[in-house]
Amino acid sequence: MFFDPVYMLFVLVPSLILSLGAQLFVRSAYGRWSRARNSAGLSGVQVADRIFRRTRVAPIPLESAPGELSDHFDPGKNVVRLSRDIATVPSVASMAVVAHELGHVEQYQSQSPLIAMRSFLLPAVQFSPTVSYLLIFLGLILNAVNLIWLGVIFFGLVVVFMLLTLPVEFDASRRALRLLHESGLIITADDERGARQVLTAAALTYVAAAVTAVLQLLYYISLASGRSRD
C-alpha cells in the first residue's frame, strides 16, 4: 500500500504534513512557555497541590514519568505521572500541562459520559489495529473481499475511538482553564495566554491523529469497494 500512488497522495503525504505541523506547533508553544515563569511561582507538583486544595478535584497520587512531555493520567492505577520539567519547573507550560491532566482526573471523578464511552472501547482498540492490518493484508493477497471488509470494520473501531478522544481532550483543556482560575493560578494576561496556547497546541496533535485515521479508513474502504466490483 505504501507504493500505491493514491495512498501516498491522499493518505501518507497529508498525514505527514499534519503530524509535522502539529508537532512543530507543540514544540514552539511548549518551548516558549516552558521558559516563562508562572505568576504564582509554583512548580507542577505545587500547582497540583493548589488545585487539589481549592477545587472539587479529589487528591490522587503524583508520580514521576521518564522523558519529555510524557505526562499523563493513568485511570487504571488512579495516578498522575509528570515528567521532570513539568513537575519541578515553575513555568506557565507546567501549570497548563498539570491542569490538563487534572482535567482528566475530574472527568473520571465526575463520571463524564464521554470518558465512559472512550473507556468502553479501549479494550477492543488495543488489538484492533493489528487485527485490521492483518485481515486487510490477507484479503488483498488471497483476493478475499470479505476479509478486507472485516479488516475495515476493525479499523473503524480505531477511528471511532480517536474521534471520541477529541471531545475528551477538548473538555479536559476546558476544565483545565477553569481549574486554574478557580485555584487562583491565572493572575496575569500572560498566564492566561500561555496556558491557552499550550493547551491548544496539545489538542492539535489529537486532531492530526484523528484526521490521519479517517484518511486511512477511507482508503481501506476504497480498496474493499474496488475489489468488490472486480
Which are the catalytic amino acids? Answer: 101
Q: How far apart are CA 208 and CA 33, in angstroms?
A: 22
- Other C-beta atoms closer than 10 Å to the C-beta of 213 total 21
- Give the residue from 114, 224, 87, 120 showing the smallest Cα distance to 175: 114
Quick one: CA dihedral 178, 184, 187, 190, positive or negative? Answer: negative
Using an 8 Å Cβ cutoff, are 45 and 63 in contact?
no
Quick one: CA dihedral 200, 203, 208, 211, positive or negative? Answer: negative
Inter-CA distances, 175 with 112, 164, 171, 182, Å: 12, 17, 6, 10
